Every structure is written in C-alpha cells, then in structure tokens.
Amino acid sequence: MNTLEAIAKRRSIRQYKPGEISRENIEILLKAAMSAPTARNCQEWEFVVVRDKNMFKKMMEIHPYARMLEHADCAIVVCGNTQREHAPGYWIADCGAATQNILLAATELGIGSVWLGVYPNQERMDGLSRLFKLPAHIKPLNIISFGIPAEQPTEVNRFDPAKIHYELW
Ligand SMILES: Cc1cc2nc3c(=O)[nH]c(=O)nc-3n(C[C@H](O)[C@H](O)[C@H](O)COP(=O)(O)O)c2cc1C
C-alpha cells in the first residue's frame, strides 16, 4: 500500500474481532510514530502501551467515548513531555503528527484503530494521569484503540475546494 492509498483507506475502526496484534506490529506502529516531524526535532513524545483488560475498564470509566476498548486488544496512550518541547504547546502538534503516523501504519498493517481525544479535556487528562501515574510534565494527548477489524467502513472523499484559499483569504 502506498502512502496515498493508506491516507485514503484510513478510517476509525471501533468494532473488533477476537485476535492479537503481535508485539512486532506494535513496534512497527511505534517506529512509525517516532518517524514523525517535531518542532526543532524535540521528539517530546512518550507512549504507554496497554494490554491489561482491567486497565481498559478503568480507561472506559474515565473516557465517555471509549466503549470500543471493551473488545480492543491493545491501546496506546500518546503523551507529550512538556520538559522537552521547543516552546509551550508544541507537544500537541508533535504528538498529533506521531498519532497520525500510527493510524496510517495501522491501516497498512490491517489493524483497526481509532483516535480517542483526551487533551484538552482536563477531566480525562487528570483521570489518565492518575491511572497511569504520569509525572506532572507528561501530558496525555489521546488514547489509540487497536483491534482486529470487524467492520470495514468505506473510503470517504472529504475534498472540498471551498476550504482552499489561494494567496489571500
Ligand atoms: C482529536 C480527535 C478526537 C477524537 N475522539 C474520539 C473519541 O473520543 N471517540 C471516538 O470514537 N472517536 C474519536 N475520534 C475519531 C473521529 O470521530 C473520527 O476521526 C471522525 O469521525 C472521522 O471519521 P474517520 O476517522 O473514520 O475518517 C477522534 C478524532 C480526533 C482527531
């Protein structure tokens, strides 16, 4: 699959079949994440890989739109290290780029995934920080849920020329 195909095919997958995502594939996802661009090459990301179903339950109590974790095989909490960022707030863009790389790599590998927003919701951030014992300078951006796809949403074309402004607004 080439890059443009992966971009076109990527959809949020929230229904999963039983089955394991291999450790090798998780490493490929994390390698893709850490290939993303970051401001001043700060690479201020941190990743918490979660496979413990009890933790999934606790995550679902914290995050109101994370019911798919019930059947997920794995999750990654993408976090930013604010002590490493180039300037305040850059961690959000940098870890967002890493997240998108993970979603595209998962598409290529046939792994179902969905981005579950955490930042800037303070309640979710505080809940996850407590649950995973994150130090104060480590901020959770999102949870990515993974599983073997049990649904195959169709490709969508969201291209809208009205959103494009040439030279000036
Ligand atoms: C910042 C962000 C937060 C999101 N939060 C959630 C979420 O909490 N729960 C969920 O099921 N999907 C979540 N999504 C996935 C979006 O709902 C999804 O990307 C959007 O509906 C477009 O569908 P697609 O990913 O299939 O193209 C989130 C996506 C982003 C980028």
84: three-class secondary structure by DSSP: coil
CB atoms within 10 A of CB 95: 27
Residue list, ligand 1 pocket, CB within 6 Å: 11-12, 14, 65, 114-117, 153
For residue 104, give Cα distances in angstroms to 6, 8, 55, 82, 98. Answer: 6, 9, 25, 25, 10
When the pLDDT of each residue in the chain is averaged and rounded to a whole number, the result is 98
Strands 138-149 and 74-81 turn out to be: antiparallel
Distance from the alpha carbon of residue 167 to the mean position of ligand 1, in angstroms: 31
pLDDT in tens, 102-157: 999 999 999 999 999 999 999 999 999 999 999 999 999 999 999 999 999 999 99
Closest CA to 91 of 149, 21, 39: 39
pLDDT at 126: 98
Pocket test for ligand 1, best of 104, 115, 155 (most atoms within 8 A of CB): 115
Amino acid at 165: H
Q: How far is the CA of 99 from the centre of ligand 1 (A)?
A: 12
Q: Which helix (H) or strand (E) holds 16?
A: strand 16-17
Give the confidence band of 1 by pLDDT, cuts at 50, 70, 90. Answer: confident
pTM of the model: 0.98
Is the model's pLDDT at 78 over the cut of 90?
yes
Task: Quote the pLDDT of residue 118.
Answer: 99
What is the CATH number that goes with domain 3-148?
Answer: 3.40.109.10
